[in-house]
Amino acid sequence: MQQLQLLYVLLKAIAPNVHNLLEELQVPPFFAISWVLTWFAHDVDDFASICRIYDFLIVSPPMQVVYVAAALVKHSEREVLAMERDFAMVHTGLTKLPQQTKEWDSVLEDSWYLKSEYPETKLQQMGCMLARKSAVNTFAATWTRLDPARPLPFTALVATKANHPLAEATPTVKSATNTAQWPLVIATMASATMIMYAYLLAQT
């Protein structure tokens, strides 16, 4: 839900008239819940458009879907401002924007430029700080550092110190090592149990 609050922070910067309308009518960002949770698949009927959106978001940081939502509202700014100034009408109209949009390539391209102009850290400083352990704040310190050609062991992914200004490494390397050993212990015990069971069956 906090990420949805950042949607309004972004709209205040790129579409102030829309933001003022939403503030005036006290429309919460709930209209975008399905956009974020399903990557617009719940609201877009065209399968090719859904595939295009997923192709874009699956290789993007976690917050990118919020930038896409903001770009979508910005693209439909004229339609939104022309809506009847009523809470229910505006909320319903916003939920239908993904169905009415045909220029998804332009929306996705604009969302990428929005992220460049308003990166996650700047966006949070502008309005709403997320938790330090949020995927938004730990993404750069965990995933973008990886080299696909040189995979790292699980324990190497957990740093002893934060590598991102807003990130905080939760487990230590020691605890991560202990955690990583548990699957091996369980597998060994399961194998020993199966061997013992097979031995007992052979004796009967």
CATH code (residue 117): 1.10.472.80
The predicted pLDDT at position 127 comes to 73
Are 86 and 111 found together in one domain? yes
* pLDDT interval class at 79 (50, 70, 90): very high
**25-70 residue pLDDT tens:** 999 988 999 999 999 999 998 999 999 999 999 988 888 999 999 9
Are 143 and 51 found together in one domain? no
Are 124 and 143 found together in one domain? no
Are 78 and 104 found together in one domain? yes
**85-136 residue pLDDT tens:** 999 999 999 999 999 998 999 999 999 999 989 988 787 777 776 666 666 6
If one compares 184 and 104, the residue with the highest pLDDT of the two is 104
Hey, which residues does 150 pair with through a beta bridge? 147
pTM for the structure as a whole? 0.68
Are 108 and 35 found together in one domain? yes
Of the three residues 130, 145, 176, the one that is the final residue of a domain is: 130
Residues 6 or more apart from 11 whose CB is under 8 A from it?
18, 19, 22, 70, 73, 74
Determine the average pLDDT of the residues in 62-83.
Answer: 93
Are 126 and 140 found together in one domain? no
Are 165 and 126 found together in one domain? no
The range of the structural domain enclosing residue 141 comes to 136-204
Distances in Å between the Cα of 193 and the Cα atoms of 120, 151, 174, 179, 183 are 50, 33, 29, 22, 15
Are 122 and 24 found together in one domain? yes
Are 155 and 122 found together in one domain? no
How many domains are contained in the chain? 2
Are 125 and 141 found together in one domain? no
Of the three residues 130, 148, 180, the one that is the final residue of a domain is: 130
Work out the number of other CB atoms within 10 angstroms of the CB of residue 140.
Answer: 18
* pLDDT interval class at 5 (50, 70, 90): confident
Backbone angles phi, psi at 131, to 5 degrees: -60, 150
Of the three residues 110, 130, 150, the one that is the final residue of a domain is: 130
SS3 93: helix
Are 117 and 165 found together in one domain? no
**Would you give the end-to-end CA distance of the chain in angstroms?**
60
Are 109 and 162 found together in one domain? no
